[in-house]
Amino acid sequence: MSLYRNSAWFLKGVTEFTRNAFLSASKRFVEKDLEVSVAGRSFMITGANSGIGKATAMAIAKRGGTIHMVCRNKDKAEEARADIVKETGNKEVYVHILDLSETKKVWEFAEGFKRKYKSLNVLINNAGAIMSQRDLNAEGLEKSFATNVLGVYILTKSLIPLLEKSVDPRVITVSSGGMLVQKLRTGNLQSERGRYDGTMVYAQHKRQQVVMTEQLAKTHTNIHFSVMHPGWVDTPVANAMPDFHQSMKDSLRTPEQGADTVVWLSVSEAAVKNPSGRFYQELQTVSKIWKHAVIVPAAKGSSPKTGRWCPPTCLWPGPTAPLWRNKS
């Protein structure tokens, strides 16, 4: 990360991503947008046992939605479910255990979900991971990439048939302002070259999520796709960056404040009046976010048919085929 990009990101963060910035922006929010009942609609939320995911689940459950919590840790998930049910009185909250870094299991989970449930109105890709060192999953894929990008892609693509059969389908992905320090790079998807910096790898993955959302929106026009930045929030991800957390802890947003835009994108009629594939911050689109994205036609990891960037699964015809891995 260049000194310029680092400085620009921090200054932007201090003015736009903090708790005070949220309080200032919230003065223009339209309260009626969130005065809705979503009874009868189903919402899948990954990483729903803590932080933004749990706050999102709580807010939607209060509005009557059926919640599918997709979590890695069963004990923490069940504890969070109990909190949500107790707080909201909504018993339509279900726990599903899944490690998003195990990509084949992600596909198997999605296939099983489609067989069991007749509809899914909203998918919220919230779970994310920052690794302190490079590590591989059982399939030989770098875990951070598998969790933040490939797992998100497989889950989303696998559930699209179910979403398309449902009323007013939406997919929301929780990105991060950290991606502003990264241009899109597709030549080192597995972080095999150079020194492994978990924070920068995470930022690159968040950039990839933004571009992936734009491409999915172009391909699946019956679904409203969006990606958003929650601001600087006091969550387990922030705790994974101890120096940043220590210096900014008094200015970090609460999980509820961080979840505000996610909830708005999930339940409000106003959200879907905007074009699909956009990036959001503080309940509005942010067009300048795109100027940092660089997509090189026919780059390594690109689709051989279109020349556009896509995650490795665009080269993966099915669950029985070997996963493509970037070996460059």
And the tokens for 111? 């296939």
And the tokens for 204? 């690159």
Q: Sign of dihedral through CA atoms 14, 18, 20, 21?
A: positive
**Alpha-carbon distance 183 to 108, whole Å?**
32
Burial 20-41 (b: 16+ CB within 10 A, else e): ebbeebeeebeeeebeeebeeb
Q: At what angle do helices 151-164 and 103-116 cross, to 10 degrees?
A: 20
Element (H, E) at 153: helix 151-164
Catalytic residue among 4, 94, 196, 202: 202
Is 94 one of the catalytic residues? no
The answer to whether the CB of 219 falls within 8 A of the CB of 243 is no
**Residues listed for the chain:** 328
Q: Which residues are catalytic?
A: 202
